[in-house]
Chain A
Amino acid sequence: MSDALVELRGIAKGFGEGEARVQALSDITLSVAAGEVVGLRGPSGSGKSTLLNLVACILEPDAGLLRLAGETVWEGRWRRTDLRAFRRERIGFIFQFHNLLPFLDATDNVALAQTLNGVPLKAARQRARALLDYLQVGKRAAAMPAKLSGGEAQRVAIARALANHPRIILADEPTAALDSERAGVVMDLLRQVAREQAAAVLVVTHDEKIFSRFDRLVSLRDGRIEAESRPEKHELDVI
């Protein structure tokens, strides 16, 4: 696929040494095209988060090839050295455990991601508030992360991931703490971003209620891709 924004070929990743060695991923070949929303499912420990972290250049693969936004990022070694700038500019990551900065309020958590990219603080805060409003946490814009509920924190984290208009969006169970209505809002937003920004979206999820909203569903088991399917009726979904 030539227009793939995310492209993995024969990616493998293990943790630990000797007897404690865990082969988290083996021979993963997967690509996500611009505008595509791909779901990643599988039992706990099957390697979903590990796969996402590899794509986000947070973990280094052991073998294979990783191409992102048309650039070979890893092949035998890091081909791109400034991973943090790459992540800042190209990738929006919604972590499994939100990872909000505890000393910034919701607005500034979202604004910081933008100011790191050179956006003036005022404009960054404006966009942050708009995103929070859209995600229905506008009322909590001034709250510190410790005062947010799990679902609120997750939506703030989503706003942060989207703030910089990334081409690649990675989300680790973004709807786990949300009720089905809000989960629907989040999925709609991700789909909209994929369409409007021609972004590739890769979402880890356990949530069967939203399976139908993916263009493709990839199932992982024991670190290998077990199956790929295309949900039928996603255009008609109203939750």
Chain B
Amino acid sequence: MNLALRDIRHNLGRFLLTCLGLGLLLGVALAMVGIYRGVVEEALSLARALRADLWVVEAGTRGPFAEASRIPGDVREAVARLPGVLAAGAVTFQTVEARHAGGPGEAEPWTEEALRERAGEAGRQRIGAVLRLQVVGHEPDRPGGPPEILEGRGIGRGRLEMVVDRGAGLRPGAIVEMANIRYRVVGLTHRTVSTGGDPLAWITLRDAQELQFRLAPPAARRAQQGGGGALPQDTVNAVIARVSPHARAEDIAAGIRRWKHFAALTAAEQETVLTRSVVERARRQLGMFTGVLLLVSAVIVALIVYTMTMDKLREIATLKLIGAPDRSIVALIMQQALLLGGTGFAGGTALLLSVKDAFPRRVLLGPEEILGFGLVVFVICLAASLLGVRYALRIEPAQALGG
């Protein structure tokens, strides 16, 4: 007969309560694992969304995310002409505090028609909620546009249209205002955020350059106008390229590096820059905290198992009195520790899976993360039960005697 199960059944309420506590703790630890993995995943989401094999940026920088990069937009043509390059597109990036109407809390999306109906100022006032967006300016039909459109449509050639990540809470038809220009949301993407977790918003490159010009400080604006005429200069942050499967992005990048004024990164290099530089501190911070939480969990499991063993002092001594071998006593403690860890793990995981989508940023918990975490919990329980086992093996059978 299985003594571990029989003992648990005898004290079921207490065992479940302990499991609940441990489950909450393990849930928090697993959340940290998910948040950590989420940060890394999100750091790469922008670069991956654009599906660029090659990044051409300003010389001497590792832009456009780790460092600022400004290059003339017409470089795109030179890149597109390179052998092995299938297509190239100029892109801009800027973080903007936009205002919007038609958020998730509102019954109807605020379409432009609806706003117009509400006569001028009244309508304008309704556009009030602040929204941080990472705006991507791209050339329609060239690399740099939004990936899969989840709802609505792509931008096409239409000006003042926007495709935005679903995380912004907007729906097709909603109006977003940036620098006093209104854009209409025409499509939604999914899981496309900046390294800081802000939703991505795609507009045309022309719109983006205009926006950049309007948002620039007045002095810079005057200087630009003085130099390059009335129109904003054709400056972009990077040119991205798709490379033919028969060519090597490394070779093309090496070729571009010989050009004056430009640097080039392959997709792999850009991902390394993003994880090792842009989110490095956040990653290390979360990683360390995850480690601390796991350590705390291990200590707590060890203490729980230890006190569980101490509570059973008399029973264990009695088992020794009636001649139970150490094997059965070790099995009793280890099985209970594993059951405790297993139940706590299952409870914590179920809890977290049911709330993880309510987190403002991505909590990435795939089978890989959960299994890995389960394995860690298993090892922790085994190691933690050693303390209890040591205690149990030292109990003298005579300790069961007496009243």
Contacts and interface: CB of A to CB of B under 8 A. Distances in A.
Interface of A: 49, 53, 58-59, 84-89, 93, 95-97, 99-104, 108, 111-113, 115-117, 121, 144, 160
A88 B9 contact: no
Interface string B1-33: 101001101110000000000000000000000
B363 to A, nearest CB: 40
A95 B10 contact: no
Given A86-B323, A88-B323, A101-B315, 7 more contacts: A84-B324, A89-B323, A99-B318, A99-B321, A103-B3, A103-B6, A160-B322
Given A102-B10, A103-B7, A103-B10, A116 B398 contact: no
A117 B324 CA distance: 9
Interface string B281-323: 0000000000000000000000000000000001100111111
Interface residues of B, number: 24
Contacts of A95: 321, 400-401
Contacts of A89: 323
Interface in B331-375: none
Q: What are the 7 closest A-B residue pairs judged by CB atoms, nearest first? A: A88-B323, A103-B10, A103-B7, A87-B323, A99-B318, A84-B323, A103-B6
Contacts of A144: 10
Interface string B114-142: 00000000000000000000000000000
Contacts of B397: 58, 84
B365 to A, nearest CB: 37
B11 A97 contact: no
A177 B10 CA distance: 26
A103 B321 contact: no
B403 interface: yes
A85 B402 contact: no
Given A111-B1, A121-B1, A144-B10, A58 B322 contact: no
30 contacts: A53-B401, A58-B398, A58-B401, A59-B398, A84-B323, A88-B322, A88-B323, A93-B322, A95-B321, A95-B400, A95-B401, A97-B401, A97-B403, A99-B318, A99-B321, A99-B401, A101-B315, A101-B318, A101-B319, A102-B10, A103-B7, A103-B9, A104-B1, A108-B1, A112-B3, A113-B322, A116-B325, A121-B1, A144-B10, A160-B322
Contacts of B1: 104, 108, 111-112, 115, 121
B323 A116 contact: yes
Nearest to B314: A99
Contacts of A58: 321, 397-398, 401
Which among A58, A97, A160 has the highest number of chain B CB atoms within 10 Å?
Answer: A58
A164 to B, nearest CB: 9
Contacts of B321: 58, 87, 93, 95, 99
Given A53-B398, A99-B400, A116-B328, A84 B315 contact: no
Interface of B: 1, 3, 6-7, 9-11, 314-315, 318-325, 328, 397-398, 400-403
B322 A49 contact: no
A103 B323 contact: no
A112 B328 CA distance: 11
Contacts of A86: 323
Contacts of A121: 1
Contacts of A102: 10, 315
B313 to A, nearest CB: 12
Contacts of B320: 84
A84 B323 CA distance: 4
A103 B315 contact: yes
Contacts of B325: 84-85, 116
Contacts of B7: 103
Nearest to A52: B401
A108 B7 CA distance: 12
Contacts of B400: 95, 99
B340 to A, nearest CB: 16
Contacts of B403: 97
Contacts of A115: 1
Contacts of A113: 322-323
A112 B322 contact: yes
Contacts of A96: 401
A130 B320 CA distance: 25
A15 to B, nearest CB: 11
A97 B6 contact: no
Contacts of B328: 116
A49 B401 CA distance: 10
Q: Which of B3, B318, B320, B321 counts the most A-chain CB atoms under 10 A from its CB?
A: B321
A128 B401 CA distance: 23
A86 B320 CA distance: 12
A160 B189 CA distance: 71
A71 to B, nearest CB: 16
Given A97-B401, A97-B402, A108-B1, A116 B318 contact: no
Contacts of A49: 401
Nearest to A103: B10
